[in-house]
Amino acid sequence: MEGAVTQKAPSLCFVAPHLYPVLDPATKVDFVGGAEGQQDYISRECARRGYGVSVVSLDFGQVDGASISNVTIYKTHKPGAGLPGVRFFHPRLTKLWAALKRADADVYYVRCAGMLAGVVAVFCKRYSRTFIYNGAHDTDFEPGKHLIRFKRDVLLYEFGLKHADLVIAQNRRQQELARHYYHLLSVLIPNCYALPNGYNPTPDEKRTTILWVSTMREWKRPELFLALAKALPRYKFIMVGGPSNYGTDSYYNMLCDRAAGIENLTMTGFVPYDQVDGHFDNACLFINTSISEGFPNTFLQAWARGVPTVSLFRLQGSASDIMPGSYVDTYEELLEQVTCLMGDEHKRIEMGRACEYYYRNNHQVEKIVDRFLRAIIDAADHSGGDTSQVSQL
């Protein structure tokens, strides 16, 4: 797969509203999720291998058709643009559809549950293109639990999911859910991660912080990390993340008020994607408190550095995988395990080495993109799309 691209290789379009600020870190935004990080790695690596790659993203002031690392960016509407009641149709649908046409790709890819999946599926049916949906969270495949605000968008999402030429799951549980609830077969392709260029490992003795990184949402249960910091005052805790990009900030403000009284806790607020890595460099332990996830990028950021993870969410890989790190079911078990690992440096370092070994063998970008390209080329071949229509309309 690393070889030269053949003449028949499909062109790829990643439909990702918030991806541009990741591709261009100079763009100032206050929200970036894990799905954007994954698409950043995959799109850049595909472009590096010679594939035609484009991105359809919101209008953050960039020039339409601009190129970053050989990835061409087509913009839709500005964030928040339009009048309530009509903005779903214009400018959102109209500008999205126009950007999809300008991209003129063979394969269109959507990651995250939402109305985009349905719209892109309709577009691909209309113009005989290949549509790929990639799960980003376990609830993407659980009816009634989708992280989608409007019923209209749920209906569009489920239409798109059911009409995808290929469904990609991040873990075994997602495969099982897709098969059980939607009668869909899927390909398992886990997340990937690359250490920054010039990465220099921090010596173990200088890794002193217990770290939590995510967007502040109720199902992430950040209040449990606050309780952990309060219960273990001898250790330094750092909490990285800002409020969700939808809804009010009342939940985030409540967390800030509670954190203010915990002297050994630093709450950073939102940190740009390209700057989060520095917090992992200095961590000796990473904590996840979520009820559910997909495959958190934060696990890979920790594991790549030999930082062990302790999680209330049980991660699942393939059927044969024994996942590294520590998994607990209650806050009391979390407190006990963190206390144990912080009191036993040898055990903590050994667990971190096992995490790093697992990362190197399963989650490096080149290996994951090999699997990704094999899957989408097969899907494009079997969908039989005619790629001659869009540019004529």
Q: What is the DSSP letter of 337?
A: H
The helix/strand/coil state of 17 is: coil
Residue 5 domain-assigned (yes or no): no
* 83 and 209 share one domain: no
Same domain, 40 and 158: yes
* pLDDT given at position 8: 66
Q: Do 76 and 94 share a domain, yes or no? A: yes
* Structure confidence at residue 210 (pLDDT): 98
What is the predicted pLDDT for the residue at 33? 78
d(CA 196, CA 104): 32
Q: How many helices (H) and strands (E) does the chain have?
A: 13, 14
Look at residue 305 and tell me if it is in a domain.
yes
pLDDT of residue 381: 87
Residues of the chain with pLDDT under 50: 1-7, 247, 319, 386-393
What's the pLDDT score for residue 387? 37
Q: State the pLDDT at residue 391.
A: 32
Identify the pLDDT of residue 378.
93
Half-sphere exposure of 135 (CA within 13 A, CB side): 32
Asked if residue 339 and residue 215 are part of one domain, the reply reads yes
Q: Is residue 199 part of a domain?
A: no
Q: Tell me what pLDDT residue 42 has.
A: 98
- At 89 the pLDDT is 94
Same domain, 178 and 53: yes
Instruction: Provide the domain limits for residue 284.
Output: 204-362
* Prior bond of 243 cis (ω within 30°): no
Do 155 and 222 share a domain, yes or no?
no
2 occurs within a structural domain: no
Task: Tell me, yes or no, whether 116 and 256 share the same domain.
Answer: no
* Dist. CA 168–CA 134, nearest whole Å: 5
Closest C-alpha to 307, from 201, 220, 223, 214? 201
How many domains does the structure of the chain reveal? 2
Statement to judge: residues 149 and 282 lie in one domain: no
- Looking at the structure, do residues 283 and 344 belong to the same domain, yes or no? yes
The reply to whether 136 and 234 lie within a common domain is no
* pLDDT value of position 248: 55
Residue 4 placed within a domain: no
pLDDT score of 314: 87
CATH of the domain at 310: 3.40.50.2000
Indicate whether 292 and 243 sit together in one domain: yes
Per residue in 84-101, is it b (16+ CB within 10 Å) or e — as a string? Answer: eeeeeeebbeebbbebbe
Give yes or no: residues 241 and 376 share one domain. Answer: no
Q: What is the pLDDT of residues 122-143, one digit of tens each?
A: 999 999 999 999 999 999 999 9
Q: What is the pLDDT of residue 317?
A: 59
Q: Is residue 1 part of a domain?
A: no
Residue 245 in any domain: the answer is yes
pLDDT confidence of residue 192: 97
